[in-house]
């Protein structure tokens, strides 16, 4: 009996220790990203993902860090490198849970990065897929501010390109800002980003 209790106690301590390591690692990686050390942050998120296979968040952040970096580069080789890494990490989690709205938004962002890099080549090929992803995400999580904002922001890009009215999308951006105020992330490391971008988009609307 004592042996069983000792084994259970050891198992619980191991779980607590692993949880502590996960939280420390995630905190450190987010700190690195906040300091603009994108490569170091991405590498650390990858190491956490390899060690912690039950959480979708480390791979999600590998994808997010590399995709947001890709939006700021004009070098094709670098784009391929960043977005391939983002896609590979996202695919791992999408295979596990294709109905996670945050992952669907992430996939839409990867496609959007490709469109922004080369609209003539990728616009027609990927725009429909982006709208499909946002549509699916909205069905799953209609109150998620990143879903509402991401869809509206993408639609504004299309409206500006074609010269159509952006008022309906601007109304959705207003809605997204309201949702950011009430949105409750599931965990301390769950995505919360997007409010600042939405506020900039709101100003551009006016």
Q: Domain tally for the chain? A: 1
Establish if 98 belongs to a structural domain: yes
Q: Is the residue at 40 inside a domain?
A: yes
Structure tokens at 137: 């995400």
State how far the Cα of 124 lies from the Cα of 128, in Å rounded to an integer.
7
Q: What tens-digit pLDDT sequence spans the chain (206 residues)? A: 444 444 444 444 444 455 589 999 999 999 999 999 999 999 999 999 999 999 999 999 999 999 999 999 999 999 999 999 999 999 999 999 999 999 999 999 999 999 999 999 999 999 999 999 999 999 999 999 999 999 999 999 877 766 788 899 999 999 999 999 999 999 999 999 999 999 999 999 97
Q: Is residue 70 part of a domain?
A: yes
185 domain residue, yes or no: no
The answer to whether residue 204 sits within a structural domain is no
Smallest CA-to-CA distance from 175 within 138, 136, 143, 132 is with: 143
Domain ranges, residue 50: 1-110
Domain containing 19 — which CATH number?
A: 1.25.40
User: Looking at the domain assignment, is residue 189 inside a domain?
Assistant: no
pTM above 0.85, yes or no: yes
Asked whether residue 183 is assigned to any structural domain, the reply reads no
Question: How far lies 13's CA from each of 8, 53, 107, 160, 188, in Å?
Answer: 9, 19, 37, 56, 21
Cα 119–71–39 angle (5° rounding)? Answer: 145
Instruction: Let me know if residue 88 belongs to a domain.
Output: yes
In angstroms, the CA 75 to CA 58 distance is 26
């Amino acid at each position: 009996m004592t042996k069983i209790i000792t084994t259970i106690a050891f198992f619980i301590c191991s779980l607590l220790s692993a949880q502590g390591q996960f939280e420390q690692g995630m905190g450190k990686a987010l700190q690195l990203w906040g300091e603009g050390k994108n490569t170091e942050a991405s590498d650390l998120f990858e190491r956490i993902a390899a060690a912690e296979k039950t959480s979708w968040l480390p791979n999600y952040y590998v994808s997010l860090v590399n995709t947001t970096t890709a939006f700021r580069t004009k070098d094709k080789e670098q784009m391929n490198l960043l977005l391939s890494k983002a896609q590979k990490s996202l695919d791992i989690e999408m295979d596990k849970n294709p109905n996670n709205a945050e992952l669907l938004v992430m996939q839409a962002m990867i496609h959007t990065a490709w469109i922004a890099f080369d609209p003539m080549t990728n616009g027609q090929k990927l725009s429909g897929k982006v709208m499909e992803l946002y549509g699916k995400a909205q069905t799953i999580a209609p109150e998620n501010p990143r879903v509402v904002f991401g869809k509206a922001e993408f639609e504004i890009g299309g409206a500006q390109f074609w010269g159509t009215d952006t008022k309906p999308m601007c109304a959705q951006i207003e809605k997204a800002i309201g949702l950011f105020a009430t949105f409750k992330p599931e965990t301390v490391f769950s995505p919360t980003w997007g409010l600042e971008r939405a506020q900039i988009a709101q100003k551009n609307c006016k």
